[in-house]
Amino acid sequence: MGFWQIFSDLSWAISGLMAAWMIYDTWHVQQQYDESFLMSSREGAEELTQKEAGK
């Protein structure tokens, strides 16, 4: 087996591992945290907070 074949196989393997890790982490986060918290980001939230604090 030549260098380039090993390189190709390694690329598949490393990509597979990284993809699997991301999928696992996504599932793990979903188990650990409440969905409404994960989706609580709001556009311009900081600007709103600053404005309210300035009142």
Residue 29 · residue 38 · CB < 8 Å? yes
How many C-beta atoms surround the C-beta of residue 35 within 10 A?
A: 8
Per-residue contact string for residues 1-40; x = within reach of other proteins by CB under 8 A: -x-x---xx-xx-xx--xx-xxx-xx-xx-xxxxx-xxxx
- Torsion from C-alpha of 27, 35, 42, 49, nearest 10 degrees: -120
Count residues binding other proteins (CB under 8 A). Answer: 35
List contacts with other proteins (CB under 8 A).
Answer: 2, 4, 8-9, 11-12, 14-15, 18-19, 21-23, 25-26, 28-29, 31-35, 37-48, 51
